[in-house]
Amino acid sequence: MSGLWPDLADLVLPADCAGCRDRRPGLRHGVCPACVVALGALRPRAVRPTPAPPGLPSCVALGPYAGPLREALLAYKEHGRHGLARPLGALLAEVVAAAVGGARPVALVPVPDTAAAARSRYGDHLDRLARHCATRLNRSGWAVRVHRPLRASPRPDSVTLDSAGRAAAAEAAFQPRSSGPVRGRAGGAAPVVVLLDDIVTTGVTLAAASRVLTATGWAPSVAAVLAATEKRHQS
């Protein structure tokens, strides 16, 4: 799962770099070489919000929500740069591989978009990432499937909420699509359930999704995200 550059090099020529927004003469890729290097240098690590909400599984993130990673996520989610789904999905595959710790059956469960968010983004943005993530892992010898046992209830955009508002909205954010437990193929061992999201801030969304999944037999072993926000301490 190495070689991020080919994924980024195949993108349609944009007006500027998705990672730094620099408009350079002759830029021929979705992300400039300097941002490719910065993204490729990130290494997955365990993260945990403080305080951690009840039900939050262990969480692994590629890097902090800053720099080229933040800009690429914003370009993808909010500015219609859907071509970034493949390289970002490849980066998410690196997080899943580090979180699971070995090639074995994996069930990827993306946190679903609300219907309103999916319409505004011309599709469920995390579902696209999950599919590209699974493709990358399967090509590397893993047995991975994307499952969608959750549906999202209408809720306000999290960027407009404070921590208390996020917690309140998360409580009723998800409903189960099915009640049966996750099973392996052809009676094999049950796969490791990995909950996927793009960003973890307070952890309340992941915790709420995990609680619903656990109640229906889909208990996540770990959550994998691309970015984690970092608290700013005031002096």
Residue 16, exposed/middle/buried by CB under 10 A (0-12, 13-18, 19+)? middle
Band (227; pLDDT cuts 50, 70, 90): very high
- Percentage of residues in the chain having pLDDT higher than 70: 74
102 in Cβ contact with 63 (< 8 Å): no
pLDDT digits (tens, 9 = 90+) for 193-203: 999 999 999 99
Q: Which two tokens stand for residue 42?
A: 């990130």
Band (57; pLDDT cuts 50, 70, 90): very high
The whole-number average pLDDT for the span 203-231 is 93
How far is 47 from 60, CA to CA, in rounded Å?
6
Q: What is the pLDDT of residue 233?
A: 44
Residue 96 has pLDDT above 80, yes or no: yes
Which residues, 6 or more positions from 187, have their beta carbon under 8 angstroms from its beta carbon?
none
Q: What is the pLDDT of residue 15?
A: 62
The whole-number average pLDDT for the span 128-145 is 95
Least-confidence region, from 77-91, 176-190, 212-226: 176-190
The whole-number average pLDDT for the span 24-47 is 81
Question: What is the model's pTM?
Answer: 0.84
How far is 235 from 227, CA to CA, in rounded Å?
25
Highest mean pLDDT among 26-35, 90-99, 155-164: 90-99
The sheet with strand 222-228 has its strands ordered as 45-47, 59-64, 222-228, 192-200, 106-110, 144-146
Strands (E), the chain: 45-47, 59-64, 106-110, 144-146, 150-152, 174-176, 192-200, 222-228
Residue 79 has pLDDT above 70, yes or no: yes
Number of H-type helices and E-type strands within the chain: 8, 8
Report the first-to-last Cα separation within the chain, whole angstroms.
Answer: 42
pLDDT digits (tens, 9 = 90+) for 149-188: 998 887 656 656 666 666 676 767 888 886 566 666 555 6
